[in-house]
Amino acid sequence: MIAYIDSVSVQAPGMEGWEPACSLLRGEQPYEFAPLSKYAPAFLPANERRRTTDTIKLALRTAEACTAGYADEAIAAMLTLFASVDGDTAISAQMTTTILDDEPMISPIQFHNSVHNAPAGYWMIGKGNQQAASAISAGDFQIANSLLEGVTQLDDCHPTLLLVGYDLPIDPVIETFQPAMQPFAFGLVLSLQPSPRSLAKISLSITQQPTEQASHPLLGDNRAAQVWPLLESLANHQNCVVRLPLSKTQSVQIHLESL
């Protein structure tokens, strides 16, 4: 399975944008924590813009940065795949807390935002995209499954796909179920064929061997950070071979060839 990476974006504290992230990925400067700046998805109608949560905003700002160099019609023609292990845990925490009230009243807006594909829905509305949109959650096996899903969706009729991987720390109401981590999101535009935009070629193959993944030194147990070795190679214009866990018994081996 082969695809081409045509665009990349990163959004995280201290890494707001691909260029700032590259300085860190290349070892040119040490990591310095800095809160993400305020963001409002201006491409959304006012009503939808007011309803977005921190999780949705992180996903949308990453998607918007990744497609910044594309024409509106090109963005509208892309398949989309939003990948998050936990989804919007702040909304989930609010809803589960409300259920315990004597007279539980769950906001329809909260319920709307609680579904796992809510960011994809906002993106499609704002960008006028009527192509297929997917949302995926695969726990410890997040990035291998996300990349595999994204690459296998590409075909002659749908030659480009926007992949956005993101997660925030779990809400304090239920944080005991997850180790500490930092917010992190990345975006990739994958294409079926090479183009002047292409940054790298990736080849994916499934191996019948397990792979252990350690916590990231900066981002903790944010599973979106499993993509970090690929980002390092992209930032340094280097080839690499990375193996990521697909299941308890299988892995995806990724050959990245810088172009």
| Alpha-carbon span 259 to 199, nearest angstrom | 5
Per-residue CA distances from 40 to 45, 50, 56, 60 (Å): 11, 9, 10, 9
In the chain, the domains with their CATH numbers are: 2-197 (3.40.47.10)
Q: What is the pLDDT of residue 207?
A: 95
Q: What is the pLDDT of residue 165?
A: 97
Give pLDDT tens digits for 198-211: 999 999 999 999 99
- Residue 154: CB atoms within 10 A of its CB come to 20
- Residue 139: CB atoms within 10 A of its CB come to 10
Amino acid at 195: S
Q: What is the pLDDT of residue 160?
A: 98
Q: What is the pLDDT of residue 248?
A: 94
- Residue 96: CB atoms within 10 A of its CB come to 14
Q: What are phi and psi of 29, to 5 degrees?
A: -155, 150
| Alpha-carbon span 145 to 136, nearest angstrom | 8
| Alpha-carbon span 76 to 81, nearest angstrom | 14
Q: 245 has which bridge partners?
A: 251
- Helices in 131-220 by DSSP H: which ranges? 142-153
- Residue 208: CB atoms within 10 A of its CB come to 8
Q: What is the pLDDT of residue 84?
A: 95
Query: Which residue in 33, 5, 28, 79 sits closest to 230, CA to CA?
Result: 5
In which residue ranges of the chain is pLDDT below 70?
98-112, 173-179
Joined tokens for residue 194: 């090479």
Q: What is the DSSP letter of 173?
A: G
- Cα dihedral 246→167→33→243 (10° resolution): 10
| Alpha-carbon span 7 to 28, nearest angstrom | 22
Q: Are 182 and 218 in contact (CB under 8 A)?
A: yes
Q: What are phi and psi of 81, to 5 degrees?
A: -140, 115
Q: What is the pLDDT of residue 108?
A: 66
Joined tokens for residue 87: 């989804």
